[in-house]
Amino acid sequence: MPEGHTIHRLARDHRGWFVGETVAASSPQGRFADGAARLDGQRLLAVQALGKHLLYRFADTWLHVHLGLFGRSRSWKRPPEPRPSVRLRLASSKRTADLIGPTSCALWDAAEVATLTDRLGPDPLDEEDHVDDFVAALTRRRRAIGAVLLDQEAVAGLGNVYRAELLFRARLSPHRPARSVDDVTARALWADARELMRVGVRFNRIYGRTPDEVGRPWSRMRKADRYNVYKRRVCWRCDAAIRVEDLANRTVYWCPVCQA
């Protein structure tokens, strides 16, 4: 679930349900008991997504959340009893949301937030278009582009699925050195990431192919049609066997013919 689109969607939803509200906070699991106690009864001022990071701003502190690989958030109008694994339950008069299995759930001060902001690369889901920063980040790195796209200091918010799908769509081998990608291709890759990830936010789900390409509207696309290469065995375009390899500690999928 959690690539950047998930986090931005979560930010949007939680903004609507919790910002401006006095929230009840608790930690059924107990591991965030002190933090929850400090947030309990405070008014939430803002929610912001930065790449895969989520920041909740309160009057005198920030709540930082990172879902990592396993983390999830669920919410209800009328919540059930929390499961024992719930790290943090936030509730307003409108909604209750549970946070489960996050890599990070911590109270941060402004300096820690600034450190994060400085470290992260441009986020395709940022409303402002930072295409030049993206191109500069690629130009600066000699590592494989498949590794660079997962480096949050180069681009913030892409994960393993978007890496595979975007590279296929750009017809780039994941092994191409990042700085060998020409300017036109790099800009197109960035624009594609922005468009595709916005769709991801809209449907809360990753689409690697568009209605144009599949011949069905977004919501009626079959599961098997949603990806080009991620976890696929054969390339739909050329019938070649999809390569499955390790790159930057994650499994990358790519078509050796289409992405020569």
Name the site residues for DNA (rule: CB under 7 A).
Answer: 1-3, 6, 29, 51-52, 66-72, 83, 85, 87, 100-101, 103, 150, 152, 159-161, 206, 231, 249-251
Integer distance in angstroms from the first to the last C-alpha of the chain? 29
Neighbours of 243 (CB within 10 A): 17
Closest approach, Cβ 215 to DNA, in A, equals 23
Nearer to DNA, 52 or 89 (CB): 52
Across the strands, what pairs with 76?
96
Closest approach, Cβ 161 to DNA, in A, equals 4
Is 150 within 8 Å of 240 (Cβ atoms)? Answer: no
Element (H, E) at 89: strand 86-91
Token reading at 211? 């209605």
- Sorted by sequence, the CB contacts under 8 Å of residue 132 that are 6+ apart come out as none
Closest approach, Cβ 196 to DNA, in A, equals 12
Nearer to DNA, 21 or 151 (CB): 151
- Sorted by sequence, the CB contacts under 8 Å of residue 139 that are 6+ apart come out as 178, 179, 186
Q: Is 195 a catalytic residue?
A: no
Nearer to DNA, 141 or 187 (CB): 141
Closest approach, Cβ 35 to DNA, in A, equals 15
Is 67 within 8 Å of 7 (Cβ atoms)? Answer: yes
Please give the Cα distance from 85 to 98 (Å, whole number).
10
Q: Is 3 a catalytic residue?
A: yes
Catalytically annotated residue among 9, 52, 87, 194: 52
Catalytically annotated residue among 3, 95, 122, 194: 3
Nearer to DNA, 53 or 130 (CB): 53
Mind telling me the catalytic residues? Answer: 2-3, 52, 250
